Amino acid sequence: MNWLARVVKWALSAHFKLRGWRIEGAPPETRKFVIIAAPHTSNWDFVYFVGAADALDLKLSFIGKASLFKKPFDQMMRDLGGIPLDRERSKDMVRAMIEEFARRDEFMLTIAPEGTRGKARQWKTGFYHIAKGAGVPMVLGMMDYRRKVVGLGPAIYPTGDYEADMRKIMSFYEGCTPKFPEMATRFEDLVDSAATPPQDR
């Protein structure tokens, strides 16, 4: 890890503690899983999630847009766990992440299903395809700004019944307060979208 990545990680961890945030829950024993990071409405989500990961000694990986991985910050982003995403080849990214799970002994991939800080009516389904294809659990991660909590919930293995799995997942996030509630995906919209098979979206 280069010096800039170490400084950034230290600063994010210090900010997490100084702002009075805390952690609820614990990661599963397995060292290979997909973390669902939701709700995602602000760049601050990244700050607090990295701070919590450092406190839990988790070496998280995350997918970021390719424009973030340019000099002089390319190596820093990679050292922090970043994996560049070419949005034109998102389907290839699902396949690549499944292969990455097979290749590594330890891989904790963090994905924000909303895919944007802006208003999203539905979650993107890449996280589900990756977890199912790799045979790894989905760990439910949340950020609650009202209580200043980053939490890790249950680990759920995708069964192939997308609607049933999504209803389990969504029930965990009810009552969670994002940084900007008006920008969060509505629970009602997620209920409706869960009835649509992921290959159709």
- The residue among 10 and 198 whose pLDDT is bigger is 10
Spatial contact of 89 and 98, defined as CB atoms under 8 Å apart: no
Task: Report the mean per-residue pLDDT for the chain.
Answer: 88
For residue 88, give the amino acid letter. E
pLDDT at 201: 47
Query: How many CB atoms neighbour CB 185 within 10 A?
Result: 22
- The residue among 196 and 161 whose pLDDT is bigger is 161
User: In what helix (H) or strand (E) does residue 23 lie, and over which residues does it extend?
Assistant: strand 22-24
**Buried b vs exposed e over 1-39: b needs ≥16 C-beta within 10 Å?**
eeeebeebbeebbeebeeeebebebebeeeebbbbbbbb
Counting the structural domains of the chain, the total is 1
Query: How many CB atoms neighbour CB 127 within 10 A?
Result: 27
Render pLDDT for 113-122 as a digit per residue (tens, 0 to 9). Answer: 986 655 666 8
Spatial contact of 28 and 139, defined as CB atoms under 8 Å apart: yes
Angle (CA) 166 168 171, round 5°: 105
Supply the range of the domain harboring residue 110. Answer: 3-200
pTM for this model (two decimals): 0.87
